[in-house]
């Protein structure tokens, strides 16, 4: 896609201005600044293509109306609620321990007014929410919108679905490197569930966007607020590898239940 050809030089410019070391794999704190140019250019590229083809945003599953917004809200609630339920299960089994969201991670060290060491939970959530919505929208527009529409014109539906899910999974290796390979099957399942969400919504990306944004928001909020502390070591095959939850049976089971719910009730 042409927007990638434009976005890569823009990302390199951001790295130069921000003095971000171009190491591989990319450090977690550097991913977002390098991704932003690509993400900001994506809707511009879609708009240019739409004008050239005399199409509409609804062709890509985007329709800014009440139905679309409702689907997004429902998807967001399902995804965030699923993550909360999974965390609650791990807390009940002792695999994680709760940490107060008011106290920052280092507040166990005695000192005056530890709460002043970081922003309030409300501020953190207000910062994470728009970011999660933006990331979810762009990735759904690219993978379940533009890519699906393009491949569906040339390939059978089943082959298109497999290809889109695999491309979505493999794209994460651009930033994670070979270390992210164990998550590829889980990411492919996630991509398939999001594609199913577009199908059951009649081609609208509202439900898929809500699901994607809800997962990103819940996970990012828990991480940013440092709500969890390690507890007893749970089985890796159940909880997944550190920082790679989609390698565990429980997170994959959550994706599977979400997909099953979409299939049965969508």
pLDDT in tens, 70-82: 999 999 999 999 9
Whether residue 4 is found in the same domain as residue 104: no
* End-of-domain residue from the set 24, 55, 86: 55
- pLDDT score at 82: 96
- Range 179-197 burial, b when 16+ CB lie within 10 A, else e: ebeebbebbbbbbbbbbbb
Whether residue 127 is found in the same domain as residue 234: yes
* End-of-domain residue from the set 55, 77, 93: 55
Whether residue 2 is found in the same domain as residue 67: no
Whether residue 29 is found in the same domain as residue 68: no
User: Whole domain around residue 17: which residue ranges?
Assistant: 1-55
CA distances from 141 to 45, 125, 228 (A): 11, 24, 32
Whether residue 153 is found in the same domain as residue 250: yes
- pLDDT score at 53: 81
pLDDT of 153-210, one tens digit each? 999 999 999 999 999 999 888 777 788 899 999 999 999 999 999 999 999 999 999 9
Whether residue 47 is found in the same domain as residue 120: no
- pLDDT score at 195: 97
Left if phi > 0, otherwise alpha if psi is -120 to 50, otherwise beta: which for 141? alpha
Whether residue 71 is found in the same domain as residue 49: no
- Dihedral in degrees, nearest 10, Cα atoms 56, 71, 88, 245: -20
The token pair that represents 200 in the structure block: 């059951």
Whether residue 156 is found in the same domain as residue 34: no
167/149 Cα distance (integer angstroms): 14
* End-of-domain residue from the set 15, 31, 55: 55
Burial class (CB in 10 A: 0-12, 13-18, 19+), 74: middle
For residue 161, the number of C-alpha atoms closer than 13 Å in the C-beta half-sphere is 13
Domain count, the chain: 2
**pTM of the prediction?**
0.87
User: What DSSP character marks residue 241?
Assistant: B
Whether residue 18 is found in the same domain as residue 73: no
- pLDDT score at 14: 59
- pLDDT score at 108: 45
**What averages of pLDDT result for each successive group of 10 residues across the chain (266 residues)?**
52 62 66 77 85 86 93 97 94 85 49 56 89 94 93 94 95 81 94 97 96 96 84 82 88 96 88
Whether residue 47 is found in the same domain as residue 74: no
């Amino acid at each position: 896609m042409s927007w990638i050809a434009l976005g890569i030089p823009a990302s390199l410019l951001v790295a130069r201005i921000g003095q971000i070391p171009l190491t591989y794999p990319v450090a977690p704190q550097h991913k977002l600044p390098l991704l932003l140019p690509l993400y900001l250019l994506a809707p511009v590229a879609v708009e240019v293509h739409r004008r050239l083809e005399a199409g509409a945003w609804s062709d890509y599953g985007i329709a800014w109306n009440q139905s679309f917004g409702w689907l997004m809200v429902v998807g967001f609630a399902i995804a965030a609620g699923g993550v909360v339920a999974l965390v609650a299960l791990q807390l009940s089994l002792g695999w994680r321990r709760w940490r107060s969201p008011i106290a920052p991670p280092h507040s166990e060290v005695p000192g005056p007014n530890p709460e002043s060491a970081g922003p309030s939970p409300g501020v953190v959530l207000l910062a994470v929410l728009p970011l999660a919505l933006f990331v979810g929208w762009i990735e759904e527009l690219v993978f379940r919108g533009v890519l699906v529409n393009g491949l569906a014109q040339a390939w059978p539906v089943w082959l298109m679905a497999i290809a889109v899910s695999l491309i979505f999974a493999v794209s994460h290796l651009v930033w994670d490197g070979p270390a992210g390979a164990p998550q590829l099957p889980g990411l492919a399942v996630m991509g398939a569930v999001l594609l199913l969400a577009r199908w059951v919504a009649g081609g609208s990306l509202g439900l898929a966007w809500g699901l994607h944004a809800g997962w990103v928001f819940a996970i990012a909020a828990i991480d940013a607020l440092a709500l969890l502390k390690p507890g007893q070591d749970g089985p890796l095959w159940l909880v997944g590898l550190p920082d790679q939850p989609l390698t565990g049976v429980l997170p994959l089971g959550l994706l599977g239940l979400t997909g099953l719910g979409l299939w049965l009730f969508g």
